[in-house]
Structure 1
Amino acid sequence: MEISRHFVKISALNQKINVHYRTAGESHLPKLIVLHPSPLSSEFMQGIIEQFAAEYHVVAWDLPGYGDSDKLTQSSLSLVDYSNCLATFMEVLGISSAIIYGNATGAQLAIEFAKLFPQKSSKLLLENVAWFYPQERETLLANYFPDLSPKTDGSHLALMWKMANQLYQYFPWYDTSAQAKLSAPMPSQEVIMQTFKGYLKAGERYSDAYIAAINNEDPKQLAAVPIPVDILVWQHSIIYHYCQRLYDVELPENIQIHTESGDLMARYKQLVLLAKNQNKRETTCH
């Protein structure tokens, strides 16, 4: 399956920016938009893009400020700001509505986007939707985002590499205690390198979307989504412990949680099946 790369210029927050995105799948197929985690980009999502592209026209952007998209000059960006960017991006591409797949930061963006623009989101398909308790959130925000501004001795690069490695060994990455150690096997060096590149490309403001997402990791935000939502909780996720807490929450009937304990391909298969459920639901409703 061929994945192609493109740029489009949009107006966002009183500036014009180039947004980089990847597409796959026939253009006449139903639309599915992929929203990536921070500090990554659509490059990291190519595996899932290929899986969806058999039955959808997949559009996977690089969030402004990440990957190969231009950075936004406004400081203290919110998920509302990013949601408005996404709405404009869809309008420029002529996409009136789509299934929205979001992972981690992408999931929180999808949640807020669906609340602001329910007519543009036929369904949400989400992964790595966590619930951080207030004290956990405070600790994360205080320690998760060290300064990565350039240093003359290159120490910022060494720190980026450390973060990229430990991200898949511990959660949070900075806590190297036995309690924080992850049981999932380490990913390939290619994945770690992609993560390192994500930090490098995002630069000093790599935390912008991250912080906005962490501040939104609360089931109250999720419960307000007015459209169908399917959440996949994968047991090999680095934040599985925090995602499974959602099972203890009474959520509206339009929000369903599913578990996958298999390997990466089993996860992909489950996601494709959950995406197909939207077509069945729409057919039944109409």
Structure 2
Amino acid sequence: MEVSRHFIRLGQRRVHYRRCGNGPALLMVHQSPRSSAEYEPLMRTWGTHFTCIAPDTPGFGQSDPLPDPDASIDDFADALAELIDALGIGPVAAYGFHSGGIILVTALKRHPDKFRALAVGGYAIWTAEEMALFGEHYLPPFLPSAYGEHLTWLWNRMLEQSWFFPWFDVRSEARLSVAHADVARVNAAVMEMLDAGNAYRAGYGAVLRAPRDIPLVDAVTPPVLITAYDGDPLQAHIDRLGGMPKGWEARKVATPAEHQAASLAFLLPHAAGDAPPLVEAADGGFVRIETPSFTGLLHWRGQRGGPLHLVAPGSEADLTSTLGVAGKWLDLPGQGLADPWPGDPPTEWAAWQAVIEAAATALDATQVVLPTLPAGDPDRLFPDLTPDRFGSNLASAWAIVRARHLFDPWYEVGPATARAFTPDEVDPAALALEHRALLRATAARAYLTALRSSQGED
């Protein structure tokens, strides 16, 4: 089942969301510091029953942060209510996991008219001692450093969060039964932290500081189900919930599958209405392309019509769309936020040209503007950056984006290849954006090879 992606504007702030399925709307709120991407498999399953709508919460994924860096959980709840209104889906049934559940319960208390029912996976009730411990250690600043030292911390922090809870409590007593070293899972979490940057502290901090006051037993609210499975560190918190209002229930289950089944069974009778109309911004989004070699979503920024600018190999539309150039910028497959090619990216221009022509038609482009190409050997300009068990690809990519401001090509270091640069070019904050783009550009080498062949170069 297809998952589509969209942007909507709430004032000056862009919100990114995923959508899948048919039938009544189901709002799905992810945990921190993740994004709506974590729900794609579940959306494809539950999409047979609902129109699943999963936004990236403010500051995570591709959603802009709230303007106040000290925003409270009430601010995040109000932002969610504003999104419900903008999408025209209220009152709505909703599902949230961990911190996503905290945001939803807060939103339900502040805006009960926006919801039909909530299903929550794990609801934290911290003790005063736990709150003090988390406040001191759980959310350290995440700022890029000149030589990429922050990336070593990031990889190991995201790896070991399934080994210990809290992640920094490296003691036998804090070990978890769900420990893993799944490179794909760790890398997905790492990339989402790179998206959030230091803004993760605002969204995650608001959740950790949120009061855990379940409505009083005589309160009248939409119904809520809270479940937690074996191995979830929040399962023990089921016993801390105390009395709850009529229509609220909390129970322990054995497995993640049982948690999802119980949540689905609870939500089904509460969801209502037809599939909501699609609402999206006019200045960027995703376009679905079908060619003999590629079927998927391409990301674009700018305005429909006018010229279509192709981003350079290893770059992305989010880095170039602010340059004030008329038209729009496009991420091709395996670049930026676009879907990857199925299998190995093609080096023949025909496959790329077919995708470009289809995108130009879909976006009403008047012409296609090719990028300026870097000089050098494609294999050396864009080496394999596939994640490994130790996250060494992160450090390699950082070294590349730093060196390419100092030498051209970056891998030939000496007086003859030195290039003029300004200190701003190697500012860690600027390098962090290029670093993320390079890690996403899994097809950069093939794209460069194909572009050169289209221009008669070897």
TM-score with structure 1 setting the length: 0.88
List aligned pairs for 1:22-171, cutoff 5 A. 22-26=18-22, 29-171=23-165
Distance 1:253 1:96, change over 3 A: closer
Deviates more, 1:110-119 or 1:251-260: 251-260
- Structure 2 distance, partners of 1:132, 1:113, is 19
**For 2:227, which of 224, 227, 232 is the aligned residue?**
232
Corresponding residue of 2:203: 209
Corresponding residue of 2:184: 190
Describe the SS at the equivalent of 1:257. Answer: strand
Once the two structures are superposed, what CA deviation does each residue of 1:161-195 show, in whole Å capped at 9, x if it has no partner?
Answer: 11101111110000110010001242632221121
Deviates more, 1:183-192 or 1:33-42: 183-192
Describe the SS at the equivalent of 1:206. Answer: helix
- Structure 2 distance, partners of 1:34, 1:225, is 23
Distance 1:222 1:41, change over 3 A: farther
Corresponding residue of 1:284: none
Describe the SS at the equivalent of 2:250. Answer: strand
AA of the residue aligned to 2:230? Q
AA of the residue aligned to 1:190? A
- Structure 2 distance, partners of 1:206, 1:34, is 19
Q: Which has the higher helix share?
A: 1
Deviates more, 1:160-169 or 1:270-279: 270-279
Corresponding residue of 2:355: none
Describe the SS at the equivalent of 2:144. Answer: coil
Q: CA RMSD in A?
A: 1.9
Number of residue-to-residue matches in the alignment: 270
List runs of 5+ in structure 2 lacking aligned partners. Answer: 273-458
Corresponding residue of 2:337: none
- Structure 2 distance, partners of 1:185, 1:277, is 36
**For 2:250, which of 257, 271, 275 is the aligned residue?**
257
Once the two structures are superposed, what CA deviation does each residue of 1:60-106 show, in whole Å capped at 9, x if it has no partner?
Answer: 00011100111233121112211221122122212121111111111
Mapped contact 1:126–1:230 kept (Cα < 8 A): yes
Corresponding residue of 1:2: 2
Mapped contact 2:93–2:118 kept (Cα < 8 A): yes
How far is the alpha carbon of 1:217 from its aligned partner? 5.5
AA of the residue aligned to 2:251? H
How far is the alpha carbon of 1:277 from its aligned partner? 4.4
AA of the residue aligned to 2:261? K
- Structure 1 distance, partners of 2:43, 2:251, is 20
Mapped contact 1:31–1:95 kept (Cα < 8 A): yes
AA of the residue aligned to 2:262? Q
Describe the SS at the equivalent of 1:146. Answer: coil
Deviates more, 1:206-215 or 1:57-66: 206-215
How far is the alpha carbon of 1:273 from its aligned partner? 1.4
How far is the alpha carbon of 1:20 from its aligned partner? 0.5
Mapped contact 2:163–2:176 kept (Cα < 8 A): yes
- Structure 1 distance, partners of 2:24, 2:270, is 11
Mapped contact 1:6–1:20 kept (Cα < 8 A): yes
How far is the alpha carbon of 1:111 from its aligned partner? 0.8
- Structure 2 distance, partners of 1:250, 1:91, is 31
Once the two structures are superposed, what CA deviation does each residue of 1:133-186 show, in whole Å capped at 9, x if it has no partner?
Answer: 011111111011112111112111111111101111110000110010001242
Describe the SS at the equivalent of 1:179. Answer: helix
Describe the SS at the equivalent of 2:6. Answer: strand
Once the two structures are superposed, what CA deviation does each residue of 1:88-129 show, in whole Å capped at 9, x if it has no partner?
Answer: 212221212111111111111101111111111101111120
Once the two structures are superposed, what CA deviation does each residue of 1:45-68 show, in whole Å capped at 9, x if it has no partner?
Answer: 212222321111110000111001
- Structure 1 distance, partners of 2:57, 2:185, is 19
Mapped contact 2:228–2:259 kept (Cα < 8 A): no
Describe the SS at the equivalent of 2:190. Answer: helix
How far is the alpha carbon of 1:279 from its aligned partner? 5.3
Higher RCO (CA 8 Å, separation ≥ 6 residues) = 1
What percentage of aligned pairs have identical amino acids?
25
Describe the SS at the equivalent of 1:109. Answer: helix
List aligned pairs for 1:8-19, cutoff 5 A. 8-11=8-11, 16-19=12-15
Corresponding residue of 1:276: 268
